[in-house]
Amino acid sequence: MRKLSHVDEKGAVQMVDVGSKDVTKRTAIAQAIVQAKSETLDLIFSDKLPKGDVVATAKLAGIMAAKKTSDLIPLCHPLPISSANIDIKREGAEHIALSATVQVTGKTGVEMEALTAVTVAALTLYDMAKAVDKGICIQEVKLLMKEGGKSGRYEVAATC
């Protein structure tokens, strides 16, 4: 049975020691799908919601979240993020695809930063549009790809 890296010999949680790992460029891409009424998406992408520019605000929130991941997830290492980008685009009549690409040159990966970024971006979108559509649904938050470090590149299958 594989030993869990966040648990010590006695079963207590611990932060993984990455001190002996090699410094490499690491990238992670995560995705979220948001479903909402077509009319709501029309308002979002025409910048006509009363709270302001939803897309720009959600992108900024996602970038900020990537930088604060270690403050939110107890065993994550604080990382000097080299880049964080959020892409938000309409897909069809009732869906928005959000993706977060996060990079670092360091000793541990940025999967949690990418997942946190895309989730907070989706939550921000929800918060700004809920006044016109309380049925907005955040779906399919998942890691799409990670690369760098000893394990190399990993891409997720089409569905979880």
> What are the residue numbers of the active site?
127
Which residue type does 15 have? Answer: M
The 3-class SS string of 119-137 reads: HHHHHHHHHHHCCCCCCCE
DSSP class of 13: B
Q: What are phi and psi of 7, to 5 degrees?
A: -130, 130
Q: Are 116 and 64 in contact, with CB atoms under 8 Å apart?
A: no
